[in-house]
Amino acid sequence: MKLRVECYAGTKADERPVHFQLEDSDSMVDEVLETWCGPDDAFFKVRTDDSNLYILRRNVSGDEWNLESFRQVKDWEAGAWLAGPSRHGLAICARGVCHPPPTTLRCGTN
């Protein structure tokens, strides 16, 4: 599978993925849920604009991206929990209905 990744470049290059194209499908990254590093790789667990979950691996030495894992979130699963803050500063459910974030929701927690 062909994977092309666009990254946010802040204090360093390719800091985190913001958009990727897998074959003919485009996905916007809504939230980076988790990151970790291996000896030669950086891993990013992300939630996309369609609420699906992906684990992307970037080989640092070869500057190559791979899809390590994919989980399609079912409608009933996505509606059972509120996602983190969206681009609009609101918590959103996967069905596209926006709600104000609950007071117990903290940024960066799941």
Determine the pLDDT at residue 79: 52
The region, left, alpha or beta by phi > 0 then psi within -120 to 50, assigned to residue 89 is left
Residues in the chain: 110
Mean pLDDT over all residues of the chain? 75
Same-domain pairing of 31 and 59: yes
Do 63 and 10 share a structural domain?
yes
Residues 67 and 91 in one domain: no
Residues 109 and 62 in one domain: no
Query: By residue range, what is the domain housing residue 105?
Result: 82-110
Q: Say if residue 86 is in the same domain as residue 69.
A: no
C-alpha dihedral sign at 68, 17, 28, 73:
positive
Cα-Cα end-to-end distance for the chain:
30
Q: What is the pTM of this model?
A: 0.65
Predicted confidence (pLDDT) per residue in 25-63, tens digit: 899 999 999 999 988 999 999 999 988 999 999 998 877
Number of domains in the chain: 2
